[in-house]
Amino acid sequence: MTELSRIRNFCIVAHIDHGKSTLADRLLEITHAVEGRDMRAQYLDKMDLERERGITIKAQSVRLSYEKDGGSYVLNLIDTPGHVDFTYEVSRSLAACEGAVLLVDAAQGIEAQTLANFHLARDAGLTIIPAVNKVDLPAAQPDEAAAEIAELVGCAAEDVLQVSAKSGLGVTDLADAIVDRVPPPQGDASAPLQAMIFDSMFDAYRGVITYVRVVNGELPSQARIRLMAVGLDVEAEEAGVQAPDPVPVERLTAGEVGYLVTGVKDVHEAKVGDTITLAGKHGASEPLPGYREPKPMVWSGLFPAEGGDYSELRDALDKLRLSDSALAYEPESSMALGFGFRCGFLGLLHMDIVKERLEREFNLELIATAPNVEFHVVKVGGEIVDVHNPSEMPDPGTYERCEEPMVLATVITPAEYLGPIFDLCQSRRGEMLDMKYLTPERAEVHYLLPLAEIIFDFFDQLKSRTRGYASLDYEPWGYQPADLVRVDILLHGEPVDAFSSVIHREKAYRYGRQMAERLRELIPRQHFEVAIQAAIGSRIIARETVKAKRKDVLAKCYGGDITRKRKLLEQQKKGKERMRRVGRVDVPQEAFISALRVDQGTGTQEAKK
Partner 1 sequence: MSGLYVHVPFCLTRCGYCDFNAYEGLDHLRGRYTEALAREADLAAWGWAGERIETVFFGGGTPTRLETSDLIRVLDHFREIFAIADGAEVTIEANPDTVDEEKLSALREAGFNRLSIGAQSFDPAALAALERVHSPDSVRAAFAAARRAGYDDVNLDLIFGAEGETLSSWRSTLKGALALDPEHVSAYALTIEPNTPLGRRVAARTREAPDPDLQADMFALACDALGDAGFEHYEVSNWAQPGRECRHNLGYWRREPYLGLGAGAHSYRDGRRWWNLRPPEQYLASVEAGKLPAGGKEHLTVDDMRLEDVFLRLRTRDGLPAHMVEAGRAAHYLDEGLLARSKDRYVLTERGMFLANEMVLALTG
| Residue whose C-alpha is closest to residue 373's, from 407, 408, 398 | 407
Residues in contact with 78: Cβ distance below 8 Å, sequence separation at least 6, in sequence order? 9, 10, 11, 59, 61, 93, 96, 97, 198, 211, 213, 257
The C-alpha atoms of residue 530 and residue 538 are separated, in whole angstroms, by 18
Q: Which is nearer to partner 1, 46 or 565 (CB)?
A: 565
Q: Which is nearer to partner 1, 70 or 560 (CB)?
A: 560
Residue 588 and residue 578 in contact, taking contact as beta carbons nearer than 8 Å: yes
Sign of CA dihedral 430, 436, 442, 444: negative
Site for partner 1 in 289-328 (CB under 8 A): none
x-or-dash string of contact with partner 1, 479-518, rule CB under 8 A: ----------------------------------------
Site for partner 1 in 517-536 (CB under 8 A): 527-528
Residue 125 C-beta-side C-alpha neighbours within 13 Å: 5
Q: How far is the CB of 592 from partner 1 (least distance, A)?
A: 21
Residues in contact with 587: Cβ distance below 8 Å, sequence separation at least 6, in sequence order? 336, 491, 496, 522, 523, 579, 580, 581
Q: How far is the CB of 548 from partner 1 (least distance, A)?
A: 9
Q: Which is nearer to partner 1, 41 or 569 (CB)?
A: 569
Q: Which is nearer to partner 1, 292 or 527 (CB)?
A: 527
Q: What is 143-189 written as a DSSP string?
A: HHHHHHHHHHHTS-GGGSEE-BTTTTBTHHHHHHHHHHHSPPP---T
Tell me which of 32, 295, 379, 547 binds partner 1, using CB under 8 A. Answer: 547
Site for partner 1 in 38-67 (CB under 8 A): none
Residues in contact with 213: Cβ distance below 8 Å, sequence separation at least 6, in sequence order? 9, 78, 95, 96, 195, 196, 198, 256, 257
Q: Which is nearer to partner 1, 552 or 599 (CB)?
A: 552
The C-alpha atoms of residue 198 and residue 90 are separated, in whole angstroms, by 9
Q: How far is the CB of 314 from partner 1 (least distance, A)?
A: 30
Sign of CA dihedral 163, 169, 175, 177: negative
Q: How far is the CB of 333 from partner 1 (least distance, A)?
A: 24
Q: Which is nearer to partner 1, 247 or 554 (CB)?
A: 554
Q: How far is the CB of 582 from partner 1 (least distance, A)?
A: 15
Tell me which of 32, 282, 505, 549 binds partner 1, using CB under 8 A. Answer: 549
Q: How far is the CB of 580 from partner 1 (least distance, A)?
A: 16
Q: How far is the CB of 525 from partner 1 (least distance, A)?
A: 9
Site for partner 1 in 550-589 (CB under 8 A): 550-563, 565-566, 569-570, 572-573, 576, 584
Q: How far is the CB of 508 from partner 1 (least distance, A)?
A: 33
Among the listed ranges 332-340, 365-373, 543-551, 591-599, the one in contact with partner 1 (CB under 8 A) is 543-551
Q: Which is nearer to partner 1, 204 or 553 (CB)?
A: 553
Residues in contact with 552: Cβ distance below 8 Å, sequence separation at least 6, in sequence order? 527
Instruction: Point out which residues pair with 442 in neighbouring strands.
Output: 414
- Total site size for partner 1, rule CB under 8 A: 26
- Compute how many other C-beta atoms are within 10 angstroms of the C-beta atom of residue 351: 26
Q: Which is nearer to partner 1, 40 or 550 (CB)?
A: 550
Q: How far is the CB of 59 from partner 1 (least distance, A)?
A: 51
Q: Which is nearer to partner 1, 426 or 571 (CB)?
A: 571
Q: How far is the CB of 588 from partner 1 (least distance, A)?
A: 15
Q: Where are the beta strands (DSSP E) in 120-279?
A: 127-133, 161-162, 194-203, 207-216, 218-220, 223-227, 232-236, 238-242, 246-249, 251-253, 257-261, 275-278
Q: Which is nearer to partner 1, 446 or 525 (CB)?
A: 525
Q: Which is nearer to partner 1, 139 or 553 (CB)?
A: 553
The C-alpha atoms of residue 540 and residue 521 are separated, in whole angstroms, by 20
Q: How far is the CB of 490 from partner 1 (least distance, A)?
A: 19
Residues in contact with 585: Cβ distance below 8 Å, sequence separation at least 6, in sequence order? 491, 492, 494, 523, 526, 530
Q: Where does this chain bind partner 1 (CB under 8 A)?
A: 527-528, 547, 549-563, 565-566, 569-570, 572-573, 576, 584
